[in-house]
Chains A and B, each alone.
Chain A
């Protein structure tokens, strides 16, 4: 069960215009079928690492292994790796290129070489599954942020990858769409797809993840189960993470009093 799907070894990457490296000797392992949360402050190298995973960025040094084979950067090798690893980008406006929802979703399967009729079937299946069908006739620019996010996820799910990377999937979503997206991610993992998710939501990461990777300054600061990570106060402080609210309450039940005081206060206020 504990086999490795993706391994990074000593990755270093510096963007052209920067003098500080975005990845600075990052090494980690992702295990097949797991729910993995990737945490760390802005600019800690999460997104850069994701782009290295499917060969969009080529690390200056270090190696990415997929299924124990080093990444092959030939055209064929890249197409192969990208059919196995899907990335749902943070801003749907940077991902959705077509004004038509169905055309947008069909882009991946057509690139994988599926026939028109197969693609049509796959697209309508995924739209049904994610509840996109009711607004599929609208142009992409008329969709709400949450709807665009669902389309962006459908874009990737329809390609049936082995590993899906979600880059802050709940960023800028309302509670309803956040829950919808979380439900979809839950379903995806049930189907045996490995999920790697960047998130700042400690409460969600705590309840959802099997394993948490903590990034800091382009390195892996630590990795482990949510319990291990969130009980390590020095680690949390270095990575500027807050403990999940459940743990804070367990540790210091006094917090509950301040909450109830607040509620009482607003109650009397509204009277």
Chain B
């Protein structure tokens, strides 16, 4: 997660208009899910892969590594569709197990393959967005989509504080390890619990301090900040529109 956060700030696509990136990834995701077509999914995988790696500048090996994360879950979950246990063998394959068969049908295989491709393509759409767009930019889009201000402000504060908390947690853990706090499992468990409660107390304190600091700058219940919009480009909008139409065309064949 931290790696994704680092990557999006250095992405070559960071300064492309956020709404464009958001619409592109969401529309593509939607078409993938609705069509469930393998052709569409392969096209999407190739295009988003090219955009993230080629244009965004994420290294190919890192991108592939990220794509394997959902793959594990997918194989585990599609096994149920691919493989049946029954008395009668089905058409694709059948492995006899005593009086039963470990068996599957061509229809099941196709369905499983479809599911895997659609899911991978969907994940690649989300990766495209998260590898190219900092959270603060995504919050801007949510604001324009009229998501309630309270939720956006909470997301803003939580996002900033995730890193402060992680930093505090690792500092405390290091200090514990320096004093043999991980000597054996029992002590390590105890140390972990102590660290967690310390982080909790610190976060409450920090919350108070942050509120004071915000009040000192005339905070009055609403976080108003500048939006950092990048102008949309016609060529990019045209590309997105063309690509989505092409996907719809692919899915109808």
Contact = CB atoms under 8 A, between A and B. Distances in A.
B160 A96 contact: yes
Contacts of B72: none
Contact of B134 (A82, A93, A99, A155): A99
A247 to B, nearest CB: 35
A103 B224 CA distance: 9
A54 interface: yes
A107 B225 contact: yes
A79 B164 CA distance: 29
Interface string B1-44: 00001100100000000000000000000000000000000000
Contacts of B219: 107, 111
Interface of B: 5-6, 9, 134-136, 156-157, 159-160, 163-164, 167, 206, 209-210, 212-220, 223-228
B226 A120 contact: yes
A262 to B, nearest CB: 31
A63 interface: no
Given A107-B223, A139-B9, A140-B160, 13 more contacts: A51-B212, A86-B216, A89-B212, A91-B209, A97-B160, A97-B213, A98-B160, A99-B136, A103-B228, A111-B219, A112-B218, A139-B134, A139-B136
Given A54-B216, A139-B134, A93 B206 contact: yes
Contact of A97 (B157, B224, B228): B157
Q: Looking at chain A's contact residues, is the secondary structure mostly helix, strand, loop, or mixed? A: helix
A1 interface: no
Interface residues of A, number: 41
Contacts of A137: 9
18 contacts: A75-B220, A79-B218, A83-B218, A94-B206, A98-B156, A99-B136, A99-B160, A100-B134, A103-B226, A104-B225, A107-B217, A112-B218, A120-B226, A137-B9, A138-B9, A139-B5, A140-B160, A142-B6
A131 B115 CA distance: 52
A95 interface: yes
Nearest to B223: A107
A111 to B, nearest CB: 4
Nearest to B207: A94
A102 B228 contact: yes
B163 to A, nearest CB: 4
A155 B225 CA distance: 12
Nearest to A89: B213
Contacts of A54: 216
Contacts of A75: 220
A100 B167 CA distance: 18
B160 A141 contact: yes
Contacts of B160: 96-99, 140-141
A56 B215 contact: yes
